[in-house]
A and B are shown apart, each in its own frame.
Chain A
Amino acid sequence: MLWGQQHSPQRRFCPCSVSALRTLLAVISRMNGASTIGRGRGYNPDATAPKDGVSIKWKQPVEGRYGGYRPSPLIANGIVYGFSDGIVGVSASTGKLRFRLNAPAGPGLIVPSSVYSVPTLAVATQNTLYGLDAHGGVDIAGHRIGKRRWQLDRKSQTQLFGFRSPPTAPITDGQTVFATLSSTLFAVEPNSGRVRWQNYGGNYRPSVSGETVYVATFNRGLIGYDTETSTRTFHVPPETFRSTAVTATAEQLVVSTDSGLAGVAHDESILWRYEPPEMDRDYGSVAVAEGTAYTVFRGEKDTYLVAVSVEDGTERWRTTAPLWEDPPSSQPTIADGVVYLPLSDGGTVALDAGDGHTRWEFIRGERGLPWSPAAIADGTLYTLGNGHLYALEER
């Protein structure tokens, strides 16, 4: 499956904060030399992943990262990219290190290029979008030459108080890369890094469906722009709900709000709402697969993974897993009927998508530092934690 395919009218993960795109990538990337990374598709019924237990296929050391590992790994064309303090590129099959870059590391996206023989790795920080050589450039006497192709800087806004959102993952519709940097949504030509257009974009990851790119903005509502012209074609005002993330599917938009979840039709009508009074969430991504939305809520004493029907907003199940308290860091990844989540104190848990029971846990090393969301390709689960990039296979 080639990356350049049209945006599929399938359910996709909600792209909202740091590793939301990783969540999507995890389910769809393939090992046959091609990749669907960056499409925004959150679910691939053909994807397989470890279901009943895992063993370590390989592990590669990575630089430590203060505060845990937020962006999930990225898999494309046989290379696994790990984002921590710097970027590593590792052979997916053997675990051999291909390159290590001392480069700003945020959530990334692989974009095929018509100008270069090697695709572009688009990496986002809070104020900058980098276009890097996906093979890390060329190593000459220990120096990486030609690793950076282009760079888009957005002036940062001084923020004395309040929440400072983490970097959001870029996405693409096959022709344009969309990224939110410092409240601005940029539509970027992937070969050159030139801005095609820009508009207000909030602080969360955009989502694309058809010819519309959607952004969830806390203060200005849920907005949709035409991908070519940037004309606003969709708007749900903030008075309806405060949106913090959006996942676009062919049938509806699944929106993460400051009080729960909502389903919104493409004609802007509200289909359903899920707003449990005993739980809350500030922000965080939503994964959608097979008619169910999965996301993390914070209760009075526990953190819950909740499964909600996207038909009518009814709760299917909830489970108290020892999840990372910060919902955005608990990014669900779904494949083959299993939901994978990073644990709050180090490790990854696999929950049954049907009823939420724990299928397996993988915990290593020093506890207390959250691991990255999972990425999945060809039956292997990849995750960052404990100073390593792990490849886990079915035991």
Chain B
Amino acid sequence: MTEKSISVRTLFSGTIERLQSNPTAVVIVVSVGLLVGFLDWLVLQAPLPVTNFHGVKGGQVSIRFNPTVRILSRHTVSPSSLLGMKLPWLMWVVWLNIVKTATVAAAGGYALTRFLDVPVARAPLLRYMALFVVLSIGLPRSTASGTVGIFVFLVLLLVLISVLVGLFALPGLLIRGRSFGPALKESWRRSRGHGWSVAGCIVLIGAANHLTGSIPVFGPVGTACVGVVHAGVVAAFVRRTSQPM
């Protein structure tokens, strides 16, 4: 049944219901948050140049949102620092990043699977993980830094949020078995009429990510909790906007 309008409150109510019904998925995602925290600690034990996430502590206000479920890593080795690295260290960094990426992508995909009540299948999960990787490279983070003029900034922000709204349901539709092209079109179609609600969810989730990620040591676990909620909201939105078959 398709509702004419879905509120932010409706989506979060649906999220709570999804989380309560699937505690295993919650535990798995939060556990991956602990793993990411451990991997962050491992990076700090090596004499590697690391970029640190300061968040609110650095005086930065930001909305950290990605259509796929993310867990923030507070300490990363930037790509430019990899150049010229000796092979053992390079392999170490690459391995850490592969483990981090694979576990976070798999955990997010699994959570969506459970929240959407679909069986765990390899092809949809792989499509979701591929989207995760592509968006890791291609999607810039929106930052309320105001380095451009305020009017230009607002226009850019509007454009970015519009794109994110259109992509909001994409991960859920991929998990449901759609291929990329049709899932993308359908995600865009489903967002029509619900743009403000979805934008509200994006802002809330993005701000929560930034705030929880700012907590030293516990940042990854905090963002894992937000990630679980994100997956729940996506699942709730996809279920609410499903057309009768």
Contacts and interface: CB of A to CB of B under 8 A. Distances in A.
Interface stretch (A60-68, A96-104, A189-197): A189-197
B83 A192 contact: no
B86 A115 contact: yes
Contacts, number: 49
A317 interface: no
Interface in A148-172: 148-150
Interface stretch (B43-51, B156-164, B173-181, B233-241): B43-51
B81 interface: yes
A191 B49 contact: yes
Nearest to A134: B84
Contact of A114 (B47, B49, B84): B47
Q: Is the interface of A mostly helix, strand, loop or mixed?
A: loop
B91 to A, nearest CB: 12
B85 interface: yes
A138 B83 contact: yes
A281 to B, nearest CB: 39
B89 interface: yes
Interface string A50-72: 00000000000000000000000
Contacts of A189: 47
Given A150-B49, A191-B47, A192-B48, A115 B85 contact: yes
B46, B48, B50, B86 pick with most chain A CB within 10 angstroms: B48
Interface string A98-121: 000000000000000011111000
B84 A146 contact: yes
B80 interface: yes
Contacts of A149: 49, 80-81
Contacts of A345: none
B96 interface: no
B82 interface: yes
Contact of B80 (A114, A135, A146, A191): A146
Interface string B32-65: 0000000000000011111000000000000000
B48 A191 contact: yes
Contacts of A137: 80, 83-84
B84 A117 contact: yes
B60 to A, nearest CB: 14
A40 to B, nearest CB: 22
A189 B50 CA distance: 12
B86 A117 contact: yes
Contacts of A138: 83
A186 to B, nearest CB: 15
A118 B81 CA distance: 12
A131 interface: yes
A116 B47 contact: no
A116 B80 CA distance: 12
A115 B46 CA distance: 9
Contacts of A116: 84-86
A133 interface: yes
B207 to A, nearest CB: 26
A145 interface: yes
B82 A115 contact: no
A148 B81 CA distance: 7
A192 B84 contact: no
Nearest to B82: A146
A148 B49 CA distance: 10
A145 B83 contact: yes
Nearest to B80: A146
B37 to A, nearest CB: 19
Contacts of A135: 84
Contacts of B50: 192, 194
Contacts of A146: 80-84
A133 B47 contact: no
A145 B80 contact: yes
Contacts of A193: 49
Interface string B58-102: 000000000000000000000011111110010000000000000
Contacts of B89: 115
B83 A133 contact: yes
Given A137-B83, A146-B83, 20 more contacts: A114-B86, A115-B48, A115-B85, A116-B84, A116-B85, A117-B85, A117-B86, A131-B49, A135-B84, A138-B83, A145-B83, A146-B80, A146-B84, A148-B80, A149-B80, A150-B81, A192-B47, A192-B49, A192-B50, A193-B49
Chain A to chain B: the 7 pairs with minimum beta-carbon distance, closest first: A146-B83, A150-B49, A191-B47, A146-B80, A116-B84, A149-B49, A192-B49
22 contacts: A114-B47, A115-B48, A115-B85, A116-B85, A118-B84, A133-B84, A137-B83, A146-B80, A146-B81, A146-B82, A146-B83, A148-B81, A149-B49, A150-B49, A150-B81, A191-B48, A192-B46, A192-B47, A192-B48, A192-B50, A193-B49, A194-B50
